[in-house]
Amino acid sequence: MSSWPGPGDGVGPAVTCRPEGSTSPGRMTRVVVEQIGAFVVGMIILPLRRSVAKLVVFTLVMGCYSVNMSSETTAGARPTRQQERRAQTVREIKGLAMEQIRQGGPDALSLTGIVREMSMSPAAVYRYFANRDALLADLVVDAYDELADALEGLDSAEGPEQRLDAVLRGTRGWALQHPNAYRLIFQTSIGSGADFAADRLIPAASRSMAVLVEALAAVGEGAEAPRTHKPGAVADAGAIAASLPDGIAGVFTPWAERSGLAGYPTGVLVLALLTWTRLHGIISLELGGHLAATGIGADTLFELEVGAIRAEAVALPALLAAAVAAAAVPAAD
């Protein structure tokens, strides 16, 4: 398991009530608390008596339990007709949610609006998603999966550098084709995983980060002999590795271990994270219309950054070797 930057420790688990969910007592307590919270809002609208409301909350919770139980007992078997209907409803809810987000951004997502559109009862939607954040988290996981599918499905390239270029271009290409999914991941607090659903976001995010790290590392491995791309370019100098302060490895170790990337050199990990922030800088400004305003094509700026990242990936091994060698020799003064 590796990941795009993942959340720290102590982050709460997802609280969606779905077949693949865990049924631990702590988790169910959260589901109950969140569903009660959601239901209090519902009661303002619906003229239900309190006793009826309690009954409905109880039914919802038991519904979660029974669905989770049934999914465990039928693991591996053909989905039942009921499960198929449920999956279809979830797809429909997500489709309407993405349409709301397309029209008005993540803030526009409204369970009430979806309920109205689907002619469901307000309470029924909570059988599928415990609350709005749970639905958002599901959409973020879907988006991460789609990005990873796009990157893993890239045509095999000529060599490691062409492969790296393809991964970088593939990331931008996916973002431009799915701007709302991209914004959902990288421009919402749900996407950050800081306060919600970290247990599902880290594995989902890990797939695309792994593709990037592998591509960067492969360029370095294929570049042990000095090589030149352009007049004046010397292979054994890369801006990032040149600036690595002593002891930086320890800072990256916890994230690398948590993400299954501990085997990679620190220089590759640093370059991978900075590649992520650099791509995000260009892509988010492009999506916001800020690059078009310069009159310089986003393609041009992006390709220049691709070239910069590629050159740094090529230069990393020699630089790291030099840094190790220098560290073994006592300083002159």
C-alpha span between 153 and 174 (Å, rounded):
12
- Interaction of residue 249 with a copy of itself, rule CB under 8 A: no
- Interaction of residue 163 with a copy of itself, rule CB under 8 A: no
Q: How many positions of this chain bind a copy of itself (CB under 8 A)? A: 81
C-alpha span between 14 and 31 (Å, rounded):
9
C-alpha span between 5 and 254 (Å, rounded):
11
Give CA 317 to chain center in angstroms. Answer: 29
End-to-end Cα distance, the chain? 45
CB 227, min distance to a copy of itself, A: 11
- Interaction of residue 321 with a copy of itself, rule CB under 8 A: yes
Q: Among candidates 252, 244, 174, which has minimal Cα distance to 207?
A: 174
Per-residue DSSP letter, 48: -
Question: Which residues in 139-158 contact a copy of itself (CB under 8 A)?
Answer: none
- Interaction of residue 318 with a copy of itself, rule CB under 8 A: yes
Nearer to a copy of itself, 39 or 252 (CB): 252
Q: Residue 193 corresponds to which tokens in the numbers above?
A: 């995983």
Identify which range of 56-64, 115-123, 125-133, 322-330 contacts a copy of itself by CB under 8 A: 322-330
Interface residue with a copy of itself among 289, 330, 332, 333 (CB under 8 A) is 289
Question: Which residues in 182-221 contact a copy of itself (CB under 8 A)?
Answer: 186-189, 191-194, 198
Interface residue with a copy of itself among 93, 164, 240, 261 (CB under 8 A) is 240
Nearer to a copy of itself, 63 or 179 (CB): 179
- Interaction of residue 236 with a copy of itself, rule CB under 8 A: yes
Q: Among candidates 98, 280, 305, which has minimal Cα distance to 186?
A: 280
C-alpha span between 35 and 16 (Å, rounded):
10
